[in-house]
Structure 1
């Protein structure tokens, strides 16, 4: 195994440490209790498609930057329209479901274990306010939590990863970016960070062309590998 000289670990949050689709599904179920599981999944797909499309438009310079709070409210309106719900209070409540996301079963214990050896930095596309509530709801432990809002763009823009580099005061090659999304790790690699892929049911798996430093089935496995690689 390649020796890793790591001074801090940087974690993606949405999908990597919390089950984002589960939280949104719960919000949709509250919005439209009569929907069956396929109907909820269809509305979840509308939400995800809106967020992905609008973040891409911002990254491409087609749309000025807006926070994730704005995008979540837009997505909630799209979903509510499709469900035939017109109550603005119900739409606003659905928009907040993106802040009430359950952690994966190994997240809290895994972060605690890693925090004994490394400074931990959360790096999320969620807004500052959303990230604060999300961290509190899921019980995530950080030494520093950074929002892409600080860079007024979204991952995988290099400016977002630079936030972690600047805060850590370390060269990019001394930071390990951990994510369940290959696209996120590729973005971090572009700035010179080391990378670790953690498999999650909702992630974006690596392709044969990807060359990430570590691959793990969960945070316990990641901690074990870091112990051997350090």
Structure 2
């Protein structure tokens, strides 16, 4: 078991870890295409997610110049619109900004508040600066500071994104704890020496047997209690 006294700053992934990204996107698609059944909505969600993943991967491979999530989300919305036969520009624009309106998980506020009483807490998100500002306001997430990968002109799991958090924390990376529901995100944090804590969410990327994270919890409240008790 890792020694919590060594942790000085706690950093949280936002999309999927603190807010229900998949559920929010699904709701936005259903709003844009109200006649769609569940299978059609799931298909359109896959179209969106595959575009975002592919474009962020291209940026990571230097086969595309950096573009922030506002641009990529707008591209994804256009793809969904084309598949669904949407032509109303107002509807398409609202769909493109769905990432600004994602609801927090039930324990996000309470867990974040408990940890913020003991540690400086940072949000670290692939969301653009403008999107992150509006998302934090919509979801009611209260950070000591929120950082966007846009400042690194890269996307997680690129090391430069995690270095934003380490540099902001102003302490050695082994004293900075990265919290996420995505094992790939935590592996990225480990490449720069950060400590890691996996929090299970209904949708995420669970750890493999080979993963060695400092903590694993079933909820943010459970993680907060573990760190507070140590």
3-state SS in 1 of match to 2:213: coil
- Distance in 2 (CA, whole Å) between partners of 1:60 and 1:225 is 38
Q: Write the deviation string for residues 36-78 of structure 1: whole angstroms up to 9, x where unpaired.
A: 1111111011111110010000000010000000000000001
Structure 2 match to 1:222? 223
- Displacement over 2 Å in runs of 4+: none
- Distance in 2 (CA, whole Å) between partners of 1:47 and 1:192 is 33
- Distance in 2 (CA, whole Å) between partners of 1:125 and 1:80 is 24
Q: Write the deviation string for residues 169-193 of structure 1: whole angstroms up to 9, x where unpaired.
A: 1110000000000000000000000
Structure 1 match to 2:199? 198
Structure 1 match to 2:42? 41
- Distance in 2 (CA, whole Å) between partners of 1:141 and 1:19 is 17
C-alpha displacement of 1:218: 0.7
Q: Write the deviation string for residues 130-182 of structure 1: whole angstroms up to 9, x where unpaired.
A: 00000000000100000000000000000000001111111100000000000
Match runs of 1:148-163 below 5 Å: 148-163=149-164
Q: Write the deviation string for residues 104-136 of structure 1: whole angstroms up to 9, x where unpaired.
A: 000011111111000000000000000000000
Structure 1 match to 2:15? 14
1:174 maps onto 2:178 in alignment: no
- Distance in 2 (CA, whole Å) between partners of 1:111 and 1:227 is 12
Aligned length: 229
Structure 2 match to 1:56? 57
- Distance in 2 (CA, whole Å) between partners of 1:145 and 1:2 is 26
Structure 1 match to 2:28? 27
- Distance in 1 (CA, whole Å) between partners of 2:66 and 2:80 is 22
* TM-score, structure 2 normalization: 0.98
Q: Show structure 2 runs of 5+ residues with no match.
A: none
- Distance in 1 (CA, whole Å) between partners of 2:70 and 2:124 is 16
C-alpha displacement of 1:199: 0.2
1:77 maps onto 2:78 in alignment: yes
- Distance in 1 (CA, whole Å) between partners of 2:65 and 2:122 is 27
* TM-score, structure 1 normalization: 0.98
Q: Show structure 1 runs of 5+ residues with no match.
A: none
Q: Write the deviation string for residues 63-110 of structure 1: whole angstroms up to 9, x where unpaired.
A: 000000000000000111110111222111101111100000000111
Cα RMSD, aligned residues only: 0.8
C-alpha displacement of 1:227: 2.4
- Distance in 1 (CA, whole Å) between partners of 2:179 and 2:95 is 29
